[in-house]
Amino acid sequence: MTAFLRKIRIDAAVAMTVMQRVWGVAAGLVMVLLTSTLFSKEMQGYYYTFSSLIALQAFFELGLNFVLAQFVSHDIVLLDEHNDAQARQAAIDRIGLLYESVRRWFAVTSVLFAVAVGIGGFVFLRRGGAGLPPSEWAGAWVLIVVAAAINLYYSPQIAIAEGTGKVARVAKLRTIQSVGGYLACWAIIAIHPTLYAVACIGLAMALTSGWWLRRHSGVPEIARRVAPQGVGYGWRKDILPLQWRIGLSWMSGYLLYQVFTPFTFAHRGPAEAAMIGLSIAMFSNISLIGMSWLSATTPVLAGLVARGERDTLRRRFRTLFLQSLAFQIVACAGLCVVVALGRYLEIHIMERFLPTADLAILAVISSCNVAIFAMATFMRVHKEEPMLWNSLVCGLLVTGITYFASFHGATYVLIGYLAVIVLLSVPWTLLLFRRYWQMR
């Protein structure tokens, strides 16, 4: 298997990450089957709205996880034995002190997230649309928020572990967590359909992440080797100049990918929110696999930038980009065909999806988004964030269009989204990407 992966130029980190994402899609399909057959349309609408509201953690993480991985990736190459002892110790000090700093900071951030999103989400869910009584969803919402807050606390620590080169191990951890969480969730739904079952997915991650960080990440060991007078990164000088740009881009990403279900929930009700939430979730799962080629090799690309190996960087990126986009296009087309065929054969579950024409629009949008993500990754491994204004402007436009279009239905929402991505975001990204591609 390893020889085969090398032959087709897929390394272990990519393979493990793709496997993780493939499992995510498979698990998503099972969730589609269970929620479509055992949940009411209203309950399914709450399920997808929960996911969109929890994604508000982007406003608390502020892109720091990506920034941490970039900085650590650039420093970890200095731990090579060929470097002098002083350079190695300086790198250890920066990584170790960074680890301790984010632990303290995210202990506060996770509490703020739990309070703000927990209370705000409760008010939104109670007032939005004619749906389920609070007794059927309020307790589940509390459990999901608590689990998300714990995972938010651990997420930057795991990002540092990825930056040290443990991408494959983190992907393995995520797969094990996901398998355990989903199996528990499915068992509960099969016995008694309830939104409480959904909390199992986040709880499984929350209960195991801390143990893995202590026992297998290797980062606490680095932190223990920090010199008494060690010097870390200056937050204002080193981290903040990149993070505030990444953070705004991450928040804009929420506006680009997550506002559809909540607005539809509020303006059209839980049943229609279920349709758009389910359809977007399926394409998002496909995109997660498509993005795996780049996300799994981000530390490697960052290392090539740090060493100035531009030709190798371009060759590696070109291969990854073509593999990623080819998979995305084929998988999206396949999903459209499967749903269309299912509707033709009058398979009941396919009626939970949006109409085929709307799915085709989503297929084009998600393929464009994967291409944008790939180019953005190439630019960001230079420890810069040129996508700030692109993301911010497009996010605000999509949010405004979605707010008004959601009063009239999903088709209008998707047409507006397509126009912003194809006519503005893609050309703008290409112009930015060209400068980084031509660097020497």
Tens of pLDDT along 355-378?
Answer: 999 999 999 999 999 999 999 999
Give the per-residue pLDDT at 127: 73
Mean pLDDT of 222-227: 82
Please say if the pLDDT value at position 7 is more than 50: no
Per-residue pLDDT tens over the stretch 407-432: 988 899 999 999 999 999 999 999 99
SS3 of the chain: CHHHHHHCCCCHHHHHHHHHHHHHHHHHHHHHHHHHHHCCHHHHHHHHHHHHHHHHHHHHHCCHHHHHHHHHHHHHHHHCCCCCHHHHHHHHHHHHHHHHHHHHHHHHHHHHHHHHHHHHHHHHHHHCCCCCCHHHCHHHHHHHHHHHHHHHHHHHHHHHHHHCCCHHHHHHHHHHHHHHHHHHHHHHHHHCCCHHHHHHHHHHHHHHHHHHHHHCCCHHHHHHCCCCCCCCCCHHHHHHHHHHHHHHHHHHHHHHHCCHHHHHHHHHCHHHHHHHHHHHHHHHHHHHHHHHHHHCCHHHHHHHHHHCCHHHHHHHHHHHHHHHHHHHHHHHHHHHHHHHHHHHCCCHHHHHCCCHHHHHHHHHHHHHHHHHHHHHHHHHCCCCCCCHHHHHHHHHHHHHHHHHHCCCCHHHHHHHHHHHHHHHHHHHHHHHHHHHHCCC
Structure tokens at 99: 């680890």
Give the per-residue pLDDT at 291: 86
Work out the percent of the chain whose per-residue pLDDT is above 90: 39
The single-letter code of the amino acid at 402 is T
Give the per-residue pLDDT at 6: 46
pTM score? 0.74
- Kindly report the average pLDDT of the chain as a whole number: 85
Please say if the pLDDT value at position 294 is more than 80: yes
The residue ranges of every structural domain in the chain are: 2-437
Give the per-residue pLDDT at 13: 61
As a whole number of Å, the end-to-end CA separation of the chain is 36
User: Which residue in 223, 21, 55 sits closest to 151, CA to CA?
Assistant: 55
CA dihedral (274, 50, 333, 405) positive or negative: positive
Please say if the pLDDT value at position 197 is more than 50: yes
More confident residue, 123 or 244: 123
Give the per-residue pLDDT at 216: 82
Burial label, 84 (beta-carbon count in 10 A; 0-12, 13-18, 19+): exposed
pLDDT level of residue 107 (50, 70, 90 thresholds): very high
Please say if the pLDDT value at position 71 is more than 70: yes
